[in-house]
């Protein structure tokens, strides 16, 4: 085995065997580590943000693609939960997730959004997930949702 490969192998073994020691040290000195990290970030704020901006500009397409995928996954997860498995409309069984949305069963969606500070779209799906999928919501397609709105709750 050449020297450089042997060195890499030894470094990998060292990191693996000392991982637990590093973790134990961190948890024993957590307050100090957090204080040090905060002070470092404050002292080097401009440099850190400039590197972050540079990295974002260099990888903008990939970062945005991942963010979009993550938003879609959260949306599908929430729709699946409220539709008992696979996303579909509670009235007409439409399965196209592009036209599906969350509906307030009691019809108080506008009041609820105002109470939450104007949450809509992705932030609303995240709110549903982080609050343990509260009761009172169902999945409807856009047509059934508009029909419910037009006929005052009757679909």
pLDDT digits (tens, 9 = 90+) for 35-88: 999 999 999 999 999 999 999 999 999 999 999 999 999 999 999 999 988 999
Average confidence (pLDDT) over 5-15: 87
Instruction: Write the DSSP assignment of 61-95 as a string of letters.
Output: HHHHHHHHHHHHHHHHHHHHHHTTSS---TTT---
Judged by DSSP in three states, 59 sits in coil
Q: What is the spatial distance between Cα 126 and Cα 129, in angstroms, rounded to a whole number?
A: 5
pLDDT at 154: 58
pLDDT for 1 equals: 61
Closest CA to 71 of 4, 131, 113, 129: 129
């Amino acid at each position: 085995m050449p020297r450089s490969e042997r060195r890499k192998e030894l470094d990998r073994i060292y990191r693996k065997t000392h991982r637990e020691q590093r973790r134990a040290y961190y948890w024993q000195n957590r307050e100090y580590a957090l204080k040090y990290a905060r002070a470092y970030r404050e002292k080097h704020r401009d440099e850190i943000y400039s590197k972050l901006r540079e990295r974002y500009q260099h990888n903008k397409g990939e970062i945005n693609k991942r963010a979009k995928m993550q938003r879609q996954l959260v949306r599908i997860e929430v729709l699946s939960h409220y539709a008992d498995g696979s996303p579909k409309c509670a009235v007409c069984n439409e399965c196209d997730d592009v036209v599906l949305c969350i509906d307030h069963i009691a019809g108080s969606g506008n009041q609820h959004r105002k109470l939450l500070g104007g949450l809509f779209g992705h932030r609303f799906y995240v709110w549903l997930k982080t609050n343990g999928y509260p009761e009172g919501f169902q999945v409807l397609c856009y047509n059934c949702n508009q029909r419910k709105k037009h006929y005052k709750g009757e679909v």
